[in-house]
Amino acid sequence: MLLERAELRVVSLPLLRPFRTSFGEIRDKTFILLRLYGEGLHGVAEGVMDARPQYREETISGALALLREAILPDILGRRWENPEQLTRHLSAVRGNRMTLATVEMAYWDLWAQARNLPLSTVLGGVRNEVPVGVSLGIHTSVDATVESAVRHAEQGYRRIKLKIQPGWDVEVVRAVKAALGTLPVTVDANAAYSLADLNVLRALDDLGLDYIEQPLAWDDLRDHAKLQALMRTPLCLDECITTAQDARKALETAACRLVNIKVGRVGGHLEARRIHDVATSFSAPVWCGGMLESGVGRAHNIHLASLANFTKPGDTSSSSRYWARDLIHEPLETRGGLMPVPAGPGIGVTLDLPFLESVTRHTEHLGPVTVPVTAV
């Protein structure tokens, strides 16, 4: 398939309500939206990097420069037979997994559309709907957190995840657990603790959580292995895992017992599928995490989560929890704790272009192709 041109946008989508984590509070989700054009079709994906390097080291401004100056000029005007070929070519770029994922995911959408197949089908998915949990940010009080957790449990969500940070952990988790009974509850620390906080982490260990997500530093497998040896509760790694090799090392060293796979974090769908397969070989479950994506990124996540080893409820909850109006026409809404996989070609959703224009901060175009097409 010939990649003819690309469109880069910076989009800022206002959240219905602020979302607070140990990193701080988010009121608007700002992200890169990439469209790749070829042979009368276009594929779309969004970048999950932030304006500041808080979650991982990539930033929106850095990703835009890399896409504009190096990656897109290198791949436009060339024919790519399949995503594997494109990904092999892009592997010459060191790091920058989120930026590479933006390109790879857009091409997967385009390639699947050209075959008139849903993305889940070409990825090897095995289900038409995926189990869904909900991620709750840090609230203003314990009572407000409990009320929100109970309300979402009543809506059918199959797991409640609480964002925590030092000083906002044991008390609120204990209260939510008491209110929800047997419904699985997890916590996500976003790397906010260290081994010096072992007393707090051991107190959390006594609360019967399904797992504790990324309690320690974003790049530290060794201390996670030390902590897991001291804990009954499984640890789940997120920020630490960007490749299948990371997943193998984490599971071999018992730094975790399950993995959060975010396709935008790990370089795209191919690497996400490799991580899924590595975890399967260790009999370790995986689940699909989220980065407050719009309907575009959410649709990509849902298709990925249709693979067999995504057995834990993911973060692909209803779009209406986050946005008064999404970027896409199709509603992505849960039913009884299950999210239907969009059925159309590619990611199965279409952009609401007038609304997209209204929330776009910046647009630039690369192409159309004016150079001879070269074989790869």
| pLDDT tens-place string over residues 355-368 | 999 999 999 999 85
Question: Which residue ranges in the chain fall short of pLDDT 70?
Answer: 22, 368-376
What's the confidence (pLDDT) of residue 368? 57
List beta partners, residue 36.
6, 43
The Cα 225–Cα 122 span in angstroms is 35
Residue 30: CB atoms within 10 A of its CB come to: 14
Exposure letters 123-150 (e unless 16+ CB within 10 A, then b): bebeeebbbbbbbbbbbeeeeebbebbe
Give CA torsion, residues 102, 107, 109, 113, to 10 deg: 170
Q: Is 312 a catalytic residue?
A: no
Domains, the chain, ranges and CATH?
5-116+351-366 (3.30.390.10), 121-340 (3.20.20.120)
What's the confidence (pLDDT) of residue 373? 36
List beta partners, residue 21.
24
**Average pLDDT over the chain, rounded to an integer:** 94
Q: What does the pLDDT look like over 158-201, one tens digit per residue?
A: 999 999 999 999 999 999 999 999 999 999 999 999 999 999 99
Q: Is 29 a catalytic residue?
A: no
Nearest to 143 by CA among 171, 184, 163: 171
The residues, any chain, with a CB within 8 Å of residue 36's CB and separated by 6 or more, are 3, 6, 42, 43, 44, 103, 106, 107, 110
What's the confidence (pLDDT) of residue 17? 83
The Cα 31–Cα 112 span in angstroms is 24
Residue 57: CB atoms within 10 A of its CB come to: 14
Catalytic choice (29, 161, 177, 262): 262
Exposure letters 249-271 (e unless 16+ CB within 10 A, then b): bbbeeebbbbbbbbbbbbbbbbb
The residues, any chain, with a CB within 8 Å of residue 207's CB and separated by 6 or more, are 170, 173, 174, 177
This prediction's pTM: 0.94
Catalytic choice (161, 163, 177, 312): 163
What's the confidence (pLDDT) of residue 375? 37
Burial of 241 (0-12, 13-18, 19+ CB in 10 A): buried
What's the confidence (pLDDT) of residue 370? 38
Contact 260, 218 (CB under 8 A): no
